[in-house]
Amino acid sequence: MHVTHDASDEQNTPTCAQVWPDDQRATLARRSLDVPIADLGLLRLALTHRSYLNEQGIEPLQAVHYSNERLEFLGDSILGMLTAEALYLRFPDLPEGSLTAYRTALVRTETLAGWARRFGLDALLYLGRGESAETGEIRDRILAGAFEAVTAAIFLDQGLETTREFLGTLLDEDAEAIISLGQETNYKGRLQELIQEQKQVTPSYRTVSIEGPAHERIFTVEVVSAGETLGVGTGSSKRIAQQMAAQRALIALVAEGDDDERPL
């Protein structure tokens, strides 16, 4: 599609001084991240949520150039790739299903928001006044997006190896915590977080069949979201069958996300 351009477009394009105040947020973020990012403008962009631009009167078509949404898109893919690489190398004996569950747990919204808070990004975002929760805290979804955007900024400014080093400590610490707490087996919890984040609905489980004698029951359960069957599992109890169904759904959804760039 061809987009026309004339001089009035340039005249109406806001300057950086009109968009961002003369503060030190990018400098403070660089210090907190402990990464020598040279382009502070790129880091400032990573800290800017679209809601802030709306309050500044920036037109929607112009906002794409001043918000962190494009960086968030790139950072999501970088995080997924580096997390998969780290898990693959760290746990050579784990099967695909467990690696998938670990990756889902590590890059879920709650985890990324926690990392954003760890670096104090919640106090440094350019954010609209109406985007905080009722408690005054910034929503996890916004913080997770900001962390993805910051990851992309590090990648664009410093390259892949620096980004890998930056994420390495975070991934090591949280992967170890997940294993030690046995969280890798909570496939139902991981799946619910993923579905709620992407579709804002809660998946449900229904028993398809019960077979075998009373002392050797085999349950078959399917997990459903918006009328679609996401996975089917079997086990000696409904709980085990539900976990198996959730695990298979996670594997399928993550594989679909790899093909389509984003899950669901």
Give catalytic residues, as residue numbers. 76, 148
Give the single-character DSSP code of 137. P
How many residues are given for the chain? 264
What are the φ and ψ backbone dihedral angles of 225, each rounded to 5 degrees? -140, 125
Biggest alpha carbon–alpha carbon distance for the chain? 80
**Which tokens in the block code for residue 13?**
């394009």
Determine the distance from the C-alpha atom of residue 169 to the mean position of all C-alpha atoms in its chain, rounded to a whole number: 18
8 Å CB contact between 33 and 46: no
**Which tokens in the block code for residue 6?**
């004339």
8 Å CB contact between 223 and 244: no
* Relative orientation angle of helices 109-118 and 187-199, to the nearest 10 degrees: 80
From residue 134, give the alpha-carbon distance in Å to each of 47, 129, 141, 196: 22, 11, 15, 20
* Relative orientation angle of helices 96-106 and 160-180, to the nearest 10 degrees: 110
Q: Which residues pair with 232 in a beta bridge?
A: 222
What are the φ and ψ backbone dihedral angles of 223, each rounded to 5 degrees? -105, 135
